[in-house]
Amino acid sequence: MSAMTRRWFFVAILAACASSAYAQPVPPPPPPNAPNVLLIVADDLNVDLGVYGAPVRTPNIDALAARGVRFDRAYSQFPLCSPSRSSFLTGRRPNSTGVLANPAPALPMSPHLREKLPAAVTLPQLFKNNGYVAARIGKLYHYGVPGDIGTSSLDDYRSWDLAINPRGHDREAHDRITTIGQPGNFGATLSWLADERPDAEQTDGIAALEAVRLLERFAKERRHFFLGVGFYRPHTPFVAPKPYFDQYDANRVTLPRLSDDDRARVPAAAYASARAVEDRLDDARKREAIRAYRASTSLMDAQVGVVLKALDRLGLADRTIVIFTSDHGYHLGDHGLWQKTSLFEKSTRVPLVIAAPDKAGKGRVTAGLAELVDLYRTLADLAGLTPPAEIEGTSLRPLLDDPSRSVKPYAFTQIRNGYAVRSDTYRYIEWDAGNAGAQLFDMTRDPEETRNLAADPAHAAARAELSKVLAAYRTTGK
């Protein structure tokens, strides 16, 4: 028995023992024509992908988009790992889950979604309760990266029948990683490494191979499955085999331009994280960091390809719903910001592809607004399952049949004391209900968010309307 198999076995046994207090009758299997679900979640991935028009090599995600619907305007509800993942895996908005931060050093296993929602039926749990085998590989709920790689971290054992925690060479090579900021604090700074070890020895490479093994097992046993595959890249440290770095030339990286507000950092709340990295980087280092991010994105994309090729080889593609997304976006110097935890577009917008069998919209792009919190209701709808009445979000199924449609007028994101609403035309942000500043951007004419229109009389009516929308959302979460 290999080390990975042993880890899988013991995790499964522990989960079975732990869940005995919540034991329920074994549900009957789903109908033969019920779809499987493959949910692939990248970590800290923005829309810098080939299929979104970026100079980044992502042929496998691009190919998935060609057989599904690509969402051009999909948004995270909280641009931070644990709050975002707790939200979309429960179908609840962040104020409903109560998870509004990552674990702190003094409380390393808190907060957890079960603290406020002990009886919640999570998305994978819904499928498990309906006769599917629910399995997790890698990071679905919160993991501190890279420190928690190889552990279950802040997982939810009730969500899964099986759980696998891969750990690769990237977790062991910390002494050779280039770091901007506090040495050793790789997850909270910019850091990277062109590694000499191949894909199969990286954590994401191991995760992809484990996913293939599970798919082979499910196909052989003819089991309906909900398989969550959580890749760790491109989360910092940006570790990838050297060939991925060789695909990119740092000298050809174009750095983003900063607006007057970006340089002045007003309103201050909007730029709270700027000094953590930006002030330590010269232009050469910025280009190196962006190159490394792109390299680790291409590594992750290659592993997506490994999993999708197995799905095709095993004859499972025509009866499996495939979703690809990320927990939130990521800044790479735009607005003078790096990483996440802002309410600008680059931090809040996520890639989203849904490939569902027999949907008329495959290969097309939708501009309809979407939120990660919609995934729960969407997958339940596609699988013919009844979700808990209390979940939030909207089914995106109509957009899979007709991508020209719209199912909601707004998408919401929050962080710290700030709330943002995205409409078809505008992004509007209030900090401390406007007391610490407001920002209004016309995303049609100014997609780079260079001109703040919040004080412009010509846009006063739009601001007033969106301010009311945000006030209602802060109060009711809707």
The pLDDT of residue 24 is 64
- pLDDT band of residue 116 (cuts 50, 70, 90) is very high
Mean pLDDT for the stretch of residues 244-272: 96
| pLDDT higher than threshold 50 for residue 315 | yes
| pLDDT higher than threshold 50 for residue 434 | yes
Q: How far is CA 85 from CA 26, 109, 156, 306, 453, in A?
A: 27, 15, 11, 24, 32
Question: Which of 44, 327, 203, 352 lies closest to 193 in space, CA to CA?
Answer: 203
The pLDDT of residue 8 is 40
Which single residue is written with the structure tokens 């209030």?
430
Which has more confidence, 300 or 145? 300
Q: Which two three-digit tokens encode residue 32?
A: 């033969």
| pLDDT higher than threshold 60 for residue 4 | no
CA distance 33 to 384: 11
The pLDDT of residue 195 is 97
| pLDDT higher than threshold 80 for residue 221 | yes
The answer to whether 190 and 277 are in contact (CB under 8 A) is: yes
Q: How far is CA 344 from CA 419, 421, 436, in A?
A: 11, 11, 16
Query: pLDDT > 90: what percent of the chain?
Result: 83
- pLDDT band of residue 15 (cuts 50, 70, 90) is very low
- CB neighbourhood size of 316 (10 A): 18
407 alpha carbon, distance to own chain's centre: 21
Mean pLDDT for the stretch of residues 277-298: 93
Q: Is 172 exposed, middle or buried (0-12, 13-18, 19+ CB in 10 A)?
A: middle
CA distance 73 to 53: 14
CA distance 386 to 228: 20
As a three-state string, the secondary structure of the chain is: CCHHHHHHHHHHHHHHHHHHHHCCCCCCCCCCCCCEEEEEEECCCCCCCHHHCCCCCCHHHHHHHHCCEEEEEEECCCCCHHHHHHHHHHCCCHHHHCCCCCCECCECCCCCHHHHCCCCCCHHHHHHCCCCEEEEEECCCECCCCCCCCCCCECCHHHCCEEECCCCHHHCCHHHCEEECCCCCHHHCEEEEEECCCHHHCHHHHHHHHHHHHHHHHHHHCCCEEEEEECCCCCCCEEEEHHHHHCCCHHHCCCCCCCHHHHHCCCHHHHCCHHHHHHHCCHHHHHHHHHHHHHHHHHHHHHHHHHHHHHHHCCCHHHEEEEEEECCCCEECHHHCEECCCCCHHHHEEEEEEECCCCCCCCEEECCCEECCHHHHHHHHHHCCCCCCCCCCCCCHHHHHCCCCCCCCCEEEEECCEEEEECCCEEEEEEHHHCCCEEEEECCCCCCCCCCCCCCHHHHHHHHHHHHHHHHHHHHCC
- pLDDT band of residue 105 (cuts 50, 70, 90) is low
**Cβ partners under 8 Å of residue 198, min gap 6:** 205, 241
The pLDDT of residue 280 is 81
Whole-number mean pLDDT of the chain? Answer: 92
Question: Which of 284, 241, 429, 281 lies closest to 342 in space, CA to CA?
Answer: 429
Domains of the chain: 3-408 (3.40.720.10), 417-478 (3.30.1120.10)
Q: Which two three-digit tokens encode residue 470?
A: 């945000």
| pLDDT higher than threshold 60 for residue 65 | yes
Among the listed ranges 40-54, 76-90, 276-290, 461-475, which one has the minimum average pLDDT value?
276-290
Among the listed ranges 114-118, 320-324, 345-349, which one has the minimum average pLDDT value?
114-118
339 alpha carbon, distance to own chain's centre: 13
Please report, as a single letter, which amino acid is at residue 292. Answer: A
The pLDDT of residue 109 is 57
The pLDDT of residue 278 is 79
pLDDT in tens, 133-156: 999 999 999 988 998 999 999 999
The pLDDT of residue 27 is 87
Mean pLDDT for the stretch of residues 273-297: 89
CA distance 84 to 100: 9
- pLDDT band of residue 416 (cuts 50, 70, 90) is confident
The pLDDT of residue 281 is 87
Which single residue is written with the structure tokens 């962080």?
415
Q: Which two three-digit tokens encode residue 167?
A: 């750990």
Q: Which two three-digit tokens encode residue 464?
A: 């007033």
- pLDDT band of residue 107 (cuts 50, 70, 90) is low
The pLDDT of residue 344 is 98
CA distance 345 to 130: 37
| pLDDT higher than threshold 90 for residue 400 | yes
| pLDDT higher than threshold 90 for residue 403 | yes
pLDDT in tens, 331-375: 999 999 999 999 999 999 999 999 999 898 999 999 999 999 999
- pLDDT band of residue 6 (cuts 50, 70, 90) is very low
The pLDDT of residue 276 is 66
- pLDDT band of residue 248 (cuts 50, 70, 90) is very high
| pLDDT higher than threshold 90 for residue 274 | no
| pLDDT higher than threshold 50 for residue 2 | no
The answer to whether 300 and 336 are in contact (CB under 8 A) is: no
CA distance 270 to 264: 11
- pLDDT band of residue 183 (cuts 50, 70, 90) is low
- pLDDT band of residue 108 (cuts 50, 70, 90) is low
